[in-house]
Amino acid sequence: MVGASPNPTKFGNRYLEALINVGFKGKLYPVNPSDGEICGLKAYSSMRDIPGSVEYVIVCIPAQHVLSVLDDCVVKGVKVVQFFTAGFSETGEEEGRRLEREMVKKAREGGFRIIGPNCIGVYSPAHLMPYGPMEMLGEVGSVGFISQSGGHAGRVIGIGLRRWIHFSKVVSFGNGCDLDSVDYLEYLAVDPDTKIIGAYLEGTRDARRFFQLAKEISRNKPMIIWKGGKTDPGSEAAYSHTGSLAISDAIWTAVMKQAGVIRVDSLEELADTMLTFQHFPPFLGENVAIVAGLAGGGGGESVSSTDACASVGLNVPPFADETRRKLKAILPPAGCILRNPLDMGGVGGVLEILEKTMEIVAADPRIDLIIVNEHLDQLLMGLSKETLDKMNDIFIRTREIKPIVIVSSPGFVSTEMIALEKKLANARVTVYPSLDRAAKAIANMNWYYRFHLGAEST
């Protein structure tokens, strides 16, 4: 850690503390001119004073001092240098661009690679590598994510920790002066631990190579990309953020579609879609059953749920006559609407009725997918956690018959609600904070499989 600091407010301290606190297994060497100890570890005044070899270097010093550090990296046989340091091409100044060119030249001559500059770096839960100063590690999973924005990558990881998106690797690469998006994508394309690839990008140095690579990757692994800078002011902001040159939004959209890549328009849609691919088997179904009113008040929600599905191309077909006949036999006539969407009229807490209802709806041949408006925060006000646990067991069993997702608005977050949602996530039942977001993520998945199945048949 070049630029390690005894000051706990400095990033040169927080990076080091995070590595120590999550139990990183490798050797850690703080580098600071004052020697002494930092975070309980012996500090070295120079990298050259460190005994033995050094593989990975994190740099947190001012930009004007970085070139001499790279000379030390050559001497120590370093493989990768990650620069948290900013002040390069993103400034728009020639001096910043010159420094980046010199950095890349030294890397080429010295046989090492550069992550950044102007980035937070790598997150790898399998290797106990936290994301910069974030002292948290999620479960190891199958989602790889790359980002030109360190902040967006941190927010995606944070969402993943709350919603149980499990990552294989995450890289924030900032300006990408050496390793660019295509380099990371080439790695994730062949990484056996990565099955789904997400990205936040503001531009790329080699658009032709990027688009060809995206087309190749998306045949085998779903790619979900959120591009920043789609407006003229956004493009200007992207240039000052990471020095990325603008790509016309119309061109970007057309080429992504041609390559079979899912293009999303927000952080929330990005996370929802990655989560959907993580939990669902390959899915091609547009006919949705909506179950609402588990604890009452499902009429208005049924209407808005239908609108949400229809707006993204999902169908809410009428139930088959046999389905309606069976539902009529078990649901009370007052308060229930026995069509699709199904309003249970507040009897969802009667577990025998709920289980039979889900069996009947799942057996309907017109239905491909069930969306349940559960809203755990509201149900917790009237039902016990034990009852809700059993309710979720019913939904988990339903998943064995037909794909099912849960809508549960964030509301007041409690330990009980977190435990209930985690149980669903562990059973690969996806939970969304709104039906609009659930419908959009499902539609994105449908588009991907429809595109690639169609491409294979031509």
Q: Rounded mean pLDDT of 202-227?
A: 93
Using DSSP bridges, classify how beta strands 288-292 and 223-227 pair: parallel, antiparallel or unpaired: unpaired
Tokens standing for residue 187: 């790695």
Burial of 183 (0-12, 13-18, 19+ CB in 10 A): middle
Q: Give the start-end residues of each E strand in 41-187.
A: 41-42, 56-59, 80-83, 113-115, 121-123, 140-147, 167-172
Identify the helix (H) or strand (E) that includes residue 189. Answer: helix 181-190
Task: Domain ranges for the chain, please list them.
Answer: 11-115, 121-279, 288-449
Residues 6 or more apart from 187 whose CB is under 8 A from it? Answer: none
Q: Rounded mean pLDDT of 388-398?
A: 96
Q: What is the mean pLDDT of the chain?
A: 91
Instruction: Decide if pLDDT at 127 tops 80.
Output: yes
Which whole-number Å values give the CA distances from 205 to 41, 122, 144, 211, in the listed order? 40, 21, 21, 11
Measured distance CA(448)–CA(218) in Å, rounded: 9
The predicted structure's pLDDT at residue 296: 63
Q: How many CB atoms lie within 10 A of CB 101?
A: 13
Planar angle of CA 336, 339, 343, nearest 5 degrees? 35
Using DSSP bridges, classify how beta strands 342-343 and 337-338 pair: parallel, antiparallel or unpaired: antiparallel
Measured distance CA(160)–CA(144) in Å, rounded: 12
Lowest average pLDDT, out of 15-24, 180-189, 344-353, 395-404, goes to 344-353
Residue with tokens 């060497």: 29
Of residues 457 and 357, the one with the higher pLDDT is 357
Class of domain 288-449: alpha beta
Confidence of residue 297 (pLDDT cuts 50, 70, 90): low
For the chain, the residue count is: 458
Instruction: Decide if pLDDT at 74 tops 70.
Output: yes
User: Residue 373 pairs with which residues in a beta bridge?
Assistant: 407
The predicted structure's pLDDT at residue 115: 98
Identify the helix (H) or strand (E) that includes residue 10. Answer: none
Q: Selecting from 3.40.50.720, 3.40.1280.10, 3.40.50.150, 3.40.50.10740, what CATH number does the domain 11-115 have?
A: 3.40.50.720
The predicted structure's pLDDT at residue 414: 82
**pTM value?**
0.92
Q: Rounded mean pLDDT of 380-400?
A: 94
The predicted structure's pLDDT at residue 241: 44
Class of domain 121-279: alpha beta
Residues 222 and 277 sit within 8 Å (Cβ to Cβ) = yes
Q: Rounded mean pLDDT of 45-54?
A: 94
Tokens standing for residue 16: 């080091």
Confidence of residue 214 (pLDDT cuts 50, 70, 90): very high
**Whether residue 117 has a cis bond before it, omega within 30° of 0:** yes
Q: Rounded mean pLDDT of 117-144?
A: 96
Residues 6 or more apart from 321 whose CB is under 8 A from it? Answer: none
The predicted structure's pLDDT at residue 52: 86
Residues 169 and 140 sit within 8 Å (Cβ to Cβ) = no
Tokens standing for residue 43: 């500090």
DSSP state of 261: P
Burial of 315 (0-12, 13-18, 19+ CB in 10 A): middle
What pLDDT digit, counting tens, does each position of 168-184 carry? 999 999 999 999 999 99
What pLDDT digit, counting tens, does each position of 260-287 carry? 999 999 999 999 999 999 998 887 789 9
Q: Rounded mean pLDDT of 388-395?
A: 96
Q: Rounded mean pLDDT of 87-105?
A: 94
R_g (Cα) of the chain, nearest Å: 25
Number of C-alpha atoms within 13 angstroms, CB side, residue 48? 7
User: Residue 337 pairs with which residues in a beta bridge?
Assistant: 343
CA 195, chain centre distance (Å) = 13
Confidence of residue 232 (pLDDT cuts 50, 70, 90): low
